[in-house]
Amino acid sequence: MALIEPILNKKTAERVEAQIRSGGRNTPNLLFQGSLLAALLFALFVLGVLLFDVITDSWPVLSERFGDFLASPKRSSAEASGVFQGLRGTFWIGVAVILLTFPLGIAAAVYLEEYAPDSRLTRLIDINIRNLAGVPSVVYGILGFTLFVSLFNGVLGDREITLGRTTTAGALTLAILALPVVIITSAEAIRAVPDSLKEAAYGVGATKSEVIRSHILPYAAPGILTGTLLSLARALGEAAPLILVGAVQGRLGSRTGFFGLEQLGERFTAMPIIITGYAKEPGSDWIPVTAAAIVILLLVVLSFNAAAVLLRNRFESKREG
Partner 1 sequence: MKATSLAKLLGLLLALVLVAAACGSDDDDTEAGDATDEATEESTDDDADATDDDGAMEEDEDAAPADAGACAAGNINISGSSTVEPISTKVAELYEEVCPDTFVTVDGPGTGDGFALFCDGDTDISDASRQIKESEAETCAANGVEYTELLIAFDGIAVMTNPANEAVSCLSFADLYALLGGQSEGFENWSDASDLGASLGSDVAPYPDAPLDISAPGTESGTYDSFIEIVLEGIAEEQGDEQLIRQDFAGNAQDNVIIEGIAGSDTSLGWVGFAFAEENLDRVKEIQIAAEPGGECISPTVETIADGSYPVSRGLYIYVNNAKVAENPALAGYVDFYLGDGYTEGVTRAFGDSGYVELPADLLGEAQAAWESAK
Contacts to partner 1 by CB under 8 A? 67-68, 70-72, 75-78, 80, 84, 87-88, 91, 94-95, 98, 102, 160-161, 163, 210, 213-215, 217-218, 221, 225, 248-255, 257-259, 267, 279-283, 285, 307, 311, 314
Closer residue to partner 1, CB minimum distance, 198 or 267: 267
Minimum distance between the CB of residue 267 and partner 1, rounded to whole angstroms? Answer: 6
Minimum distance between the CB of residue 170 and partner 1, rounded to whole angstroms? Answer: 14
Estimate to the nearest angstrom the gap between the alpha carbon of 127 and the chain centroid: 21
Angle between helices 217-237 and 167-191 (to 10 degrees): 140
Minimum distance between the CB of residue 126 and partner 1, rounded to whole angstroms? Answer: 25
Closer residue to partner 1, CB minimum distance, 14 or 285: 285
Closer residue to partner 1, CB minimum distance, 34 or 253: 253
Between CA 241 and CA 237 the distance in angstroms is: 11
Between CA 225 and CA 98 the distance in angstroms is: 11
| Alpha-carbon torsion (266, 272, 277, 283), positive or negative | positive
Closer residue to partner 1, CB minimum distance, 25 or 314: 314
Minimum distance between the CB of residue 139 and partner 1, rounded to whole angstroms? Answer: 20
Closer residue to partner 1, CB minimum distance, 171 or 248: 248
Distances from the Cα of 55 to the Cα of 32, 51, 150, 217, 246, angstroms: 34, 6, 40, 40, 30
Helices (H), 72-119: 84-96, 102-110
Closer residue to partner 1, CB minimum distance, 129 or 312: 312
Minimum distance between the CB of residue 77 and partner 1, rounded to whole angstroms? Answer: 4
Distances from the Cα of 152 to the Cα of 9, 246, 292, 296, angstroms: 79, 14, 35, 32
Between CA 75 and CA 81 the distance in angstroms is: 5
Closer residue to partner 1, CB minimum distance, 6 or 257: 257
Between CA 181 and CA 183 the distance in angstroms is: 5
Between CA 258 and CA 84 the distance in angstroms is: 8
Minimum distance between the CB of residue 17 and partner 1, rounded to whole angstroms? Answer: 54
Minimum distance between the CB of residue 313 and partner 1, rounded to whole angstroms? Answer: 12
